[in-house]
Amino acid sequence: MMMRVCWCTIHVNDMEKSKKFYGDILGMKLEKTFSPVPERTIAFFKGDDDGAEIELISDSEGISSAEERISIGFMVDDLESMMQKLKNSGVEILRGPLTLGKDTYCIFVKDPNGIEIQIVEDKGSQN
């Protein structure tokens, strides 16, 4: 099963400073900013047309450890098959499947180092 990195998520302390760093200093393009709930802001940056995105999340939850500050998102063609493979391999699904949008679904697992991995299927992009 092919997987590609779709984004790396970083929980930030200061969204405006982080946006300036990734946008103005590193030269990445701000793709979108939104607030799914009042206490959370999410911003996506992209370096080029084919590369993975950087997702910045600022919220009031107070992230403290490095394992909680970063996660990596992988895109798959078939989330159900991946869930079965994870189950057969003894990997616990922490959350999900969750609906991210009309045709986008995801689950969360942890790698052996404690880093959170988000596995995403976007059925809308498969058409």
Which of the four pLDDT bands, split at 50, 70 and 90, describes residue 25? Answer: confident
Helix (H) or strand (E) holding 69: helix 66-69
Instruction: Tell me what percent of the residues of the chain surpass a pLDDT of 70.
Output: 90
Residue 119: HSE in the Cβ half-sphere, 13 Å Cα cutoff:
26
Q: Which residues contact 38 (CB under 8 A, 6 or more apart)?
A: none
Cα(54)–Cα(121) distance, integer angstroms: 18
Q: What is the pLDDT of residue 1?
A: 66
Instruction: Give 72-122 pLDDT, tens digit per residue.
Output: 889 899 999 999 999 999 999 999 999 987 889 999 998 877 888 999 998
Strands 104-110 and 40-46: unpaired
Q: What SS3 class is residue 75?
A: strand
